[in-house]
Amino acid sequence: MFFGLLYPLLFELSVLIPDPAFSQESNPVYREGNRASSTRTFLTRTFIKHEFHHLNVPLVGTVAVSDVFDCTLECLSNPLCYSVNLAAFKGTHGKLWCELLSSDKFRNSTEYKGNKSSHHFAIESPCSSSPCQHEATCVTNYRDGSFGCRCAKGFKGEYCEKVTGSCKEAYNLFKSNASQMVTLYLDSKPITVLCQMGDFGCGDGGWTPVMKINGHQETFHYDSLYWSDKNEYNTPGGRTGFDSQETKLPTYWNTPLSKICLGMKISGQLRFIVINMQANSLHSLIADGIWRASSLGRNEWKKLIGAQGSLQLNCSKEGFNAVCSLSRHSKARIGYVANENNHCDSCDSRIGFGTGGSPGNSTTCGNVAAYSPDNGDRYIKAMGYILVQ
């Protein structure tokens, strides 16, 4: 995209020589209005009149003219001129002062203001339709009528419509607690997700969705390859919030994290807990199958279930890839496992995500407890939600 001066600057005896492309082939036309078609060609060099407005930028020059035609022609004859301010009323000599401006109102929007003494005339531009998003600067190439968007920090795309990174970045940019659809740019591909903003149960900030797990299904069972691979599953489910659509998003292996928000929905009741854990991604914590401990404690994990939560009293192994010595027993990709003995051989109770093993091997997310748990036997299947920040 060409963002420099439109034409070379030529001097002869310190006098600027008009460019023939402007002065001989193009004639200025002006009309009133606040919008312009983004598809109009620039061969006629249409000027848009903005009554009683002024753009305060460095001047290319000031001339005395008889009317708007003379003023705009002066601008077209000067390769440094992008727009003009023209006096609203004639002076004592019957002339209007005409300011030739070195920029336009799209690149200097904060300097474009209303006043009572002048009108502003801008060359019609595709920027008039405000194509650039998220406070980007729109820059026109006045030679061919094309434009480019200079994106604010954290945005990409032709129109600066894509947010890079995570929902946390989006939260910092938007400064809003309202959950909203955001396009993230992952693996050089755009993906639109519903960013959960503000404190819905895990604390302030933007939370990036990663997975949703149905405890009745085997899609994300402990033994599923989805925990170790980098294959997505039902990405549209990343746009639908805390519902029953299972999903695995590219954020599983792309999004760095310092916090993990874990939620379970049981009988319509949503409950959340948070693990503080620094990692390059959730995939980096789970895919290799190595146990990585967390330190929330049994009571914190039981909060996900509510008053019905139940676990055995011993072993107490928690974190990522939590498995007892006998792997055919209860295990969890993220969660807490326990037994009734003074060892961690045969765990018969668990609360977690991506679970499996005896008893209750068919429960993929929720709470399973048998053999003398602290609150009775349980086989509770939950809808699970995993988000990161």
The span from the CA of 106 to the CA of 48, in Å, is 13
| Per-residue pLDDT at 8 exceeds 50 | no
How far the first Cα of the chain sits from its last, in Å, is 35
Phi-psi region of 383 (alpha: psi -120 to 50; beta: other; left: phi over 0): beta
**From residue 103, how far is each of 58, 81, 95 by CA, in Å?**
8, 7, 24
C-alpha Rg value of the chain to the nearest Å: 32
42: confidence class by pLDDT, cuts 50, 70, 90: very low
The span from the CA of 204 to the CA of 9, in Å, is 54
Mean pLDDT of 350-362: 97
The C-alpha angle 264, 304, 342, rounded to 5 degrees, equals 130
Q: What is the edge-to-edge ordering of all strands in the sheet holding 378-381? A: 292-293, 314-323, 331-339, 349-356, 365-369, 378-381
**From residue 215, how far is each of 239, 291, 359, 362 by CA, in Å?**
20, 22, 14, 8
3-state secondary structure at position 370: coil
**In the numeric block, which tokens belong to residue 333?**
């990709």
pLDDT of residue 43: 42
CB 213 within 8 A of CB 304: no
The span from the CA of 249 to the CA of 191, in Å, is 9
21: confidence class by pLDDT, cuts 50, 70, 90: very low
pLDDT tens readout for residues 267-280: 999 999 999 999 99
pLDDT of residue 20: 32
The span from the CA of 275 to the CA of 294, in Å, is 7
Q: What's phi and psi for 26, nearest 5 deg?
A: -110, 135
247: confidence class by pLDDT, cuts 50, 70, 90: very high
Q: Could you write out the DSSP letters of every residue in 333-358?
A: EEEEEEESSSSSSS--EEEEEEEESB
Question: Who's near 232: CB < 8 A, 6+ residues apart?
Answer: 248, 249, 250, 252
The span from the CA of 46 to the CA of 142, in Å, is 11
The span from the CA of 157 to the CA of 162, in Å, is 6
**From residue 367, how far is each of 10, 340, 359, 381 by CA, in Å?**
80, 16, 11, 7
Burial class (CB in 10 A: 0-12, 13-18, 19+), 91: exposed
The span from the CA of 338 to the CA of 360, in Å, is 14
Higher pLDDT, 12 or 60: 60
pLDDT tens readout for residues 225-236: 999 999 999 999
14: confidence class by pLDDT, cuts 50, 70, 90: very low
The span from the CA of 349 to the CA of 180, in Å, is 38
Which residue type occupies 197?
Answer: M
Instruction: Kindly report the average pLDDT of the chain as a whole number.
Output: 87
369: confidence class by pLDDT, cuts 50, 70, 90: very high
| Per-residue pLDDT at 37 exceeds 60 | no
pLDDT tens readout for residues 172-196: 877 889 999 998 888 878 899 999 9
The span from the CA of 109 to the CA of 269, in Å, is 49
